[in-house]
Structure 1
Amino acid sequence: MNSALLMHPVVLDLDGSVGPFDHSIRLPLDDWADQLRFACSRGALRGFARELALKLPLNPGPVFMGSGDFHHLSLPLLERASTRTAVDVVVFDNHPDNMRFPFGVHCGSWVRRALALPGVRHVHVVGITSADIGLGHAWENYLRPLYAGRLHYWSTGVDVRWARWLGLAPVFHAFDHIESLLQAFVAHMADERLPIYLSIDKDVLSIEDARTNWDQGVMHESQLIAAIQALHGRLIGCDITGEVSVARYPQWWKRVLSSLDRQPALSAAEISDWQADQQALNRRLLPHIQAAWQPDSA
């Protein structure tokens, strides 16, 4: 048996949204939730990274982080993984997570900082359907990593002709259908050899497959699993976000900025049902992620 199958999943329990797994390691971190959720200062993120360094096992299995509001917490996990070897990063996400944010680190701005890590070579954001990469929001994207050829967007259903006008066509992979997008992505990655850090925000999935409180993409669970399987033997780290929980921001500026995203108000019954569905999905995804792990890193 692949020893990666024996790796224990880790839950960063920030918002109580991730259910139980067999043989998991659960770290109670709810004291950090208000400070980190949605956005935080760089100092706060460094403090959180120090606590993780004390509590995480040396070679953690897949890490479940809760709501997509915590996706920027991929940074300390990625930094840890990329100190051992150079990596490419694959992010399945409905959003580019490369948007301008001047007040620290935001769940939608972390990719640029990931590319500043010495061990990170390329980042591929796969499954984007968000208007964040359309003409109306083009100015909000950090362009330097795109011009450097180190950040690639893989999208469907978004008009990205503006990228051609700016000479960015080589890093904008736009498709009419998610099937053709994933076929091209898998073929592209087959030509690469670096180990991979995988980050999954389940808002990349269709609402038929999972429900999150962010706008969602069109990928199906079976397609996500097939893409993960295509990375077999190359994963050295992974995190998963996209759970459902209620945010009650104590900071006025977070309340203002988060209101612009128009997240729906959910009843307690809806939250409970969606969390149960999400946990069932997590249990289905977990063995495929573990099976794709690089044997030497297990």
Structure 2
Amino acid sequence: MHPSVTFLNFDHTYTWQRNLLRFPHEWIDMYDIKGTNLYCDDQAIREIESRLTRRYTRGITFIGSGNYHYVSYMLLKQFHEPFTLVLFDHHTDMNEQTLFPLLSCGSWVSYAQKHVPTLKHVVIIGSAASQSSSHVTIFPKSDLMYAPTAIMRAIPTKHVYISIDKDVLRKQDAQTNWDQGTMALHTLVTYIEHLFQSKHVLGVDICGEDRSFCAKNEQANETIIRACFKHMPVSSAS
């Protein structure tokens, strides 16, 4: 993982978070692509993936609103090592859509399980759902912190990819356009630090923006960036 940031500009939310632009970053416009809000059609998938190839580095990717969380699926497709997806999200994003089988913000994890052969397991932390399976381990939302060692034991691979939807957080720390969980930001940071210390992190993405709460979300985003950069070989925060 490279200590850098990529902003995907689907919804202009990051133009209002100017403190984040102090970090070394790339900016990729996506707002002109049709068929991207909530659902993503095949033509939009091809165009988004084409623009993602322009990135010079692979570090932290900011996606925008949770409406575009499906971009995580496209980011996962680049990895050739067996890995576990560690998802911090108030929702599982595993909805099966049979009538309209489009990639969406609510189905992308299921897509990844079917189409990313190197994805071996999914660990979801902070979800309102609680039922685990042989390929998915869920740590449901709780006011109490799970022991980081318990989470590490649930990860069967050396490599992990971290995906964060800030709707997992309590409203004191971030606000999104979806219903939210109860996790404190400092708890999320603790989990992130343990993942970096215990596993090889292939990449991180973050979503959950809302233009009505840019200042609060900017603070949360900056905290997450610094928590990740702290464990990378070169410090890039200014």
TM-score range, shorter chain: 0.7 to 0.9
Letter in 2 for 1:11: F
Indicate yes or no: 2:144 matched with 1:179: yes
Indicate yes or no: 2:2 matched with 1:36: no
Which of the numbers 109, 131, 137 marks the counterpart of 1:152? 137
Tell me which residue corresponds to 1:15.
11
Give distance in 2, aligned partners of 1:186 and 1:31. 43
Tell me which residue corresponds to 2:236.
none
Which protein shows a greater Rg?
Answer: 1
Out of 189-198 and 104-113, give the one that drifted further. 189-198
Q: Is the 8 A contact 1:231 1:292 kept in 2?
A: no
Q: Is the 8 A contact 1:195 1:236 kept in 2?
A: yes
Deviations, residues 183-205 of structure 1 (Å, cap 9, x unaligned): 1x542415744211000000000
In structure 2, do the counterparts of structure 1 residues 119 and 213 end up closer, same or farther at CA, with 3 Å as the change threshold? same
Give distance in 1, aligned partners of 2:119 and 2:13. 30
Which of the numbers 48, 73, 76 marks the counterpart of 1:75? 73
Tell me which residue corresponds to 2:112.
114
SS of 1:99 mapped into structure 2? coil
Tell me which residue corresponds to 2:173.
209
Give distance in 2, aligned partners of 1:213 and 1:113. 23
Tell me which residue corresponds to 2:227.
288
Shift of 1:153: 1.9
SS of 2:208 mapped into structure 1? strand
Matches within 5 A, 1:159-198: 177-180=142-145, 182-183=146-147, 186-190=149-153, 192-198=156-162
Matches within 5 A, 1:138-149: 147=133, 149=134
The unaligned stretches of length 5 or more in structure 1 are 139-145, 157-176, 246-270
Give distance in 2, aligned partners of 1:119 and 1:70. 23
In structure 2, do the counterparts of structure 1 residues 43 and 28 end up closer, same or farther at CA, with 3 Å as the change threshold? closer
Shift of 1:155: 0.8
SS of 1:196 mapped into structure 2? strand
Shift of 1:38: 0.4
Give distance in 1, aligned partners of 2:227 and 2:83. 20
Give distance in 2, aligned partners of 1:29 and 1:188. 34
Output the TM-score relative to the length of structure 2: 0.86
SS of 1:63 mapped into structure 2? strand
Letter in 2 for 1:40: C
Give distance in 1, aligned partners of 2:74 and 2:183. 27
**Number of aligned positions between the proteins:** 224
Tell me which residue corresponds to 1:162.
none
Shift of 1:285: 1.1
Matches within 5 A, 1:59-70: 59-70=57-68
Give distance in 1, aligned partners of 2:177 and 2:190. 25
Letter in 1 for 2:206: I
SS of 1:179 mapped into structure 2? coil
Shift of 1:51: 2.3
Matches within 5 A, 1:118-137: 118-129=117-128, 133=129
Deviations, residues 254-275 of structure 1 (Å, cap 9, x unaligned): xxxxxxxxxxxxxxxxx1xx11
Shift of 1:47: 3.0
Deviations, residues 205-245 of structure 1 (Å, cap 9, x unaligned): 00111111110000000000001011024211110000014
Tell me which residue corresponds to 2:48.
48
In structure 2, do the counterparts of structure 1 residues 212 and 30 end up closer, same or farther at CA, with 3 Å as the change threshold? same
Looking at secondary structure, tell me which structure has more helix per residue. Answer: 1
Indicate yes or no: 2:90 matched with 1:94: yes
Give distance in 2, aligned partners of 1:287 and 1:73. 23
Instruction: Say what the alpha-carbon RMSD is for the aligned residues.
Output: 2.3
Shift of 1:43: 4.2
Give distance in 2, aligned partners of 1:39 and 1:193. 30
